[in-house]
């Protein structure tokens, strides 16, 4: 018989969080969650040597993105604790963002008393309905005796298989109820566990390994295309070993950055819409695509049939069976744990003395990288954003944790920063959520208090969660915030210039009056500077990065700077625009009118 004790529901919530190894909670209080906030306070009073800090942002969306930043930087689930109604609905965007990028997160929100549900009570919202379409799973706790088991199930579902956010809606009277606490109680989610177990136990057979290596042997230019799934699977070490063994180059998606050291000779960095020219040319040239934890999304394969047009075969590794053949038809596929699959392939190669090395192709890759490198206007009197990021990268040497907002600054950061390890690059990929960068950096700094964390933001993105500048100084976090200010929504302006006749509808902010440096100073930043002189970049960046406390640097950049290369919407890599400063092996194609049906 399981050991039992009588606790309030709120105490049980905190007890299960502690049991699950939670180190930090992000959230904002309110009436329907007050019992649990009080329980956290009392828990921390008792456990002063090992408390669970409760971090309060400017709003609940910030809490969600902080939890996401924490999760992305650690692989552990980020924890959000918010009240009912608007508190819960303010987390919808972070929940959808986490779901789209496969990020583990637990959102515990208060709810009105069970007797009031459905009565339009004060601060009531139908959270199970609202969140059901955007979360991995949603629980409404209606039986107090199942509270602990439900929370444990939430952690299990969030972190297993393809990770994602789980929402637990807890009525206030469940939080205040006296409940028999069962230490080992669990929910019956056996159907889910059985499906997952089938996937986890799905090992590569010798026949499957032989088939894979037959495709590899038949190729001369194999290319690994790795996504965020590789990082979620904790399979970066195995990917690197496999790539090194056979000298197969690796290109990554935006979410896959860091799966291989970007400074490695076999790294092609990012592919796709704003990927490096050499990565996209390698995709054009390769004859065998090996996709790992990636999904051929529209930013990589806008025209699936024309993606890797010379590839004689496509292999696909994923933990989610629904991704196989969803976009690109495969010749070989495996649904299972990537780490295990790569180890099985390596063991098969050892056993069968497979020693194929694609050194000629690796040399071709070096030629592509040296012939078509990233570049920008180095002669302009205006500050080019790439120059600023290049200087920071020179100082950080691939060791910094970098978060971003969404837009041009995000793409420049993906192009010009190096990352030695996974979980150093934190960005909103699939959802492309502006306002992500600053709170995500806060979450990452709590996860790694001794590491350098940099938020690269744009003036449009940072406005969305500007209130969290105060959160940085409130908790004395040494985050470095770099604001690349081009007086507008840069990526929107870029599209408007290329495809909409230069009509800057609602994207030009040259008349806006925000003084970001004064904002930072008002929120307690002792280092808050503005850089406008190109000749002062090196000196200023050194001071900025070297600051021991929180630092804010606004850089006024060339408002007409664009992100290149660029593969336009609905276009193939052969139509890639490289701009004036990146060499193209084809004549730059004309900028074609945008298809109204094309996605942004």
Catalytic annotation on 60? Answer: yes
Give the pLDDT of residue 166: 98
pLDDT at 596 over 60: no
Q: Which of 20, 23, 76, 123 is catalytic?
A: 123
- Per the listing, tokens 């290049």 go with 390
Whether 264 shows a pLDDT value over 70: the answer reads yes
What pLDDT score does 586 carry?
Answer: 83
pLDDT band of 487, cuts 50, 70, 90: very high
Other CB atoms closer than 10 Å to residue 572's CB: what's the count?
17
Instruction: Map 145-204 to HEC letters.
Output: HHHHHHHHHHHHHHHCCCCCEEEEEEEHHHHHCEEEEECCCCCCCHHHHHHHHHHHCCCC
pLDDT of 597: 57
Q: How far apart are CA 250 and CA 247, in angstroms?
A: 9
Select which of 15, 136, 172, 493 is catalytic: 172
> pLDDT tens-digit profile of 17-41?
999 999 999 999 999 999 999 999 9
Burial of 600 (0-12, 13-18, 19+ CB in 10 A): exposed
Comparing CA positions, the residue from 86, 108, 79 lying closest to residue 174 is 108
Select 202-370's CATH number: 3.40.640.10, 3.40.50.1220, 3.10.20.30, 3.30.420.40: 3.40.50.1220
- Mean pLDDT value of segment 179-191: 94
> Which pLDDT score, from 0 to 100, does residue 595 have?
63
In the residue annotation, 536 being an active-site residue is answered as no
Q: Minimal CA–CA distance to 372: which of 271, 453, 448? A: 271
Note the pLDDT tens digit of each residue in 48-80: 999 999 999 999 999 999 999 999 999 999 999
Q: Dihedral sign, CA of 65, 69, 75, 77?
A: negative
Among candidate residues 4, 5, 122, 514, the one labeled active-site is: 122
Q: Where are the domains of the chain?
A: 4-197, 202-370, 385-556
Is 491 among the catalytic positions? yes
Nearest to 27 by CA among 73, 49, 58: 58
Catalytic-role residue among 26, 60, 480, 564: 60
Residue 590 pLDDT level (bands cut at 50, 70, 90): low
Q: Per-residue pLDDT for 2 more than 60?
A: no
Q: Which class does domain 385-556 fall in?
A: alpha beta
Q: What is the pLDDT of residues 368-391, one digit of tens each?
A: 999 999 999 999 999 999 999 999
Reply yes or no on whether 509 is catalytic.
no
**Summary mean pLDDT of the chain:** 96
Q: Which of 69, 255, 52, 75 is nearest to 159 (CA)?
A: 75
pLDDT over threshold 80, residue 592: no
- In CATH, the number for domain 4-197 is 3.40.50.970
Domains 4-197 and 385-556 share a fold: yes
- Single out the catalytic residue among 491, 562, 571, 576: 491
- The distance of Cα 89 from the centroid of its chain, to the nearest Å, equals 21
> Catalytic: 122?
yes
Integer-rounded Cα Rg, in Å, for the chain is 25
Q: Span 150-161, mean pLDDT?
A: 98
The predicted model gives 461-469 an average pLDDT of 98
* Structure tokens given for 202: 């799905």
């Amino acid at each position: 018989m399981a050991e039992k004790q009588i606790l309030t529901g709120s105490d049980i919530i905190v007890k299960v969080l502690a049991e699950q190894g939670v180190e930090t909670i992000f959230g904002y209080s309110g009436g329907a969650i007050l019992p649990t906030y009080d329980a956290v306070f009392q828990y921390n009073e008792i456990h002063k040597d090992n408390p669970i800090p409760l971090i309060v942002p400017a709003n609940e969306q910030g809490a969600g993105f902080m939890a996401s930043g924490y999760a992305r930087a650690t692989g552990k689930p980020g924890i959000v604790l918010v009240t009912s109604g608007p508190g819960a609905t303010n987390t919808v965007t972070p929940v959808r963002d986490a779901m789209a990028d496969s990020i583990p997160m637990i959102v515990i929100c208060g709810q009105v008393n069970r007797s009031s549900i459905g009565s339009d009570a004060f601060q009531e919202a139908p959270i199970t309905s609202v969140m059901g379409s955007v979360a991995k799973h949603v629980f409404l706790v209606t039986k107090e005796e199942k509270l602990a088991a439900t929370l444990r199930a939430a952690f299990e579902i969030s972190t297993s298989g393809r990770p994602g956010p789980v929402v637990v809606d807890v009525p206030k009277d469940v939080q205040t109820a006296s409940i028999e606490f069962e230490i080992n109680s669990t929910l019956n989610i056996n159907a889910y566990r059985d499906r997952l177990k089938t996937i986890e136990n799905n090992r590569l057979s010798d026949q499957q390994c032989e088939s894979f290596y037959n495709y590899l042997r038949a190729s001369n230019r194999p290319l690994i295309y790795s996504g965020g799934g590789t990082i979620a699977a904790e399979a970066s070490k195995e990917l690197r070993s496999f790539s090194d063994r056979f000298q197969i180059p690796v290109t990554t998606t935006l979410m896959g950055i860091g799966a291989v050291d970007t400074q490695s000779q076999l790294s092609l960095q990012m592919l796709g819409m704003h990927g490096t020219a050499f990565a996209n040319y390698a995709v054009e040239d390769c004859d065998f695509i090996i996709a790992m934890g990636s999904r051929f999304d529209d930013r990589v394969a806008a025209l699936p049939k024309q993606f890797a047009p010379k590839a004689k075969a496509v292999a696909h590794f994923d933990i989610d069976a629904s991704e196989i053949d969803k976009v690109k038809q495969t010749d070989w596929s495996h649904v299972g744990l990537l780490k295990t699959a790569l180890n099985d392939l390596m063991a098969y190669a050892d056993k069968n003395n497979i020693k194929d090395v694609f050194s000629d192709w690796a040399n071709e890759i070096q030629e592509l990288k040296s012939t078509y490198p990233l570049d920008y206007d180095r002669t302009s009197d205006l500050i080019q954003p790439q120059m600023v990021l290049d200087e920071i990268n020179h100082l950080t040497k691939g060791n910094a944790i970098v978060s971003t907002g969404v837009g041009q600054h995000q793409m420049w950061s993906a192009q010009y920063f190096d990352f030695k390890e996974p979980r150093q690059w934190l960005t909103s990929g699939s959802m492309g959520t502006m306002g992500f960068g600053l709170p995500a950096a806060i979450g990452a700094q709590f996860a790694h208090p001794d590491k350098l964390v940099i938020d690269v933001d744009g003036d449009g993105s940072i406005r969305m969660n500007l209130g969290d500048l105060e959160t940085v100084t409130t908790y004395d976090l040494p985050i470095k915030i770099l604001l690349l200010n081009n007086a507008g929504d840069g990526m929107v302006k870029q599209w408007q210039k290329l495809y909409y006749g230069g009509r800057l509808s609602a994207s030009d902010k040259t008349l806006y009056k925000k003084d970001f440096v004064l904002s930072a100073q008002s929120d307690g930043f002792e280092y808050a500077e503005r850089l406008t002189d190109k000749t002062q970049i090196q000196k200023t960046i050194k001071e900025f990065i070297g600051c021991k406390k929180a630092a804010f640097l606004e850089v006024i950049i060339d408002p007409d700077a664009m992100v290149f290369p660029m593969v336009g919407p609905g276009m193939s890599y052969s139509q890639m625009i490289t701009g004036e400063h990146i060499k193209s092996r084809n004549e730059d194609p004309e900028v074609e009118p945008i298809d109204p049906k094309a996605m942004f």
